């Protein structure tokens, strides 16, 4: 006889640990480009799915991206300061 047990416990999938989640390439890319920048380098080093060369490439990308963002921010601040000085000169007359 085939009897089905209605209260049979279902198999649960194991929970992913934080290190498993941060080892995924797409999550690291999101963290590099939208959240942490160069601060993702320790997470890249701990990644289990990347080889040594790939880790170095992602580290270089993270550093270059962070440098570009900081340079852009400095340029925007400088431009804004020039605009502010020009506005002040107009108000003096």
Of the candidates 88, 38, 40, 48, the one whose C-alpha atom is nearest the C-alpha of residue 68 is 38
Residue 56: per-residue pLDDT: 94
Residue-range domain boundaries for the chain: 19-92
pLDDT given for residue 19 in this prediction: 62
Tell me the per-residue pLDDT of 38-61, one tens digit each, with 9 for 90 and over: 888 888 888 888 899 999 999 999
% of the chain surpassing 90 pLDDT: 38
Q: Where are the alpha helices (DSSP H) in the chain?
A: 18-22, 25-30, 41-46, 52-92
- Read off the pLDDT of each residue in 49-77 and give the average, rounded to a whole number: 93
pTM (predicted TM-score): 0.66
């Amino acid at each position: 006889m085939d009897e089905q047990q209605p209260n049979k416990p279902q198999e649960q999938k194991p929970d992913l640990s934080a290190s498993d989640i941060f080892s995924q390439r797409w999550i690291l890319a999101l963290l590099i480009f939208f959240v942490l920048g160069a601060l993702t380098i320790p997470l890249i080093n701990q990644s289990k799915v990347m080889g040594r060369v790939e880790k170095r490439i992602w580290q270089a990308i993270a550093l270059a991206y962070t440098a570009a963002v900081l340079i852009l921010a400095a340029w925007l601040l400088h431009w804004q300061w020039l605009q502010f000085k020009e506005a002040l000169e107009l108000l003096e007359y």
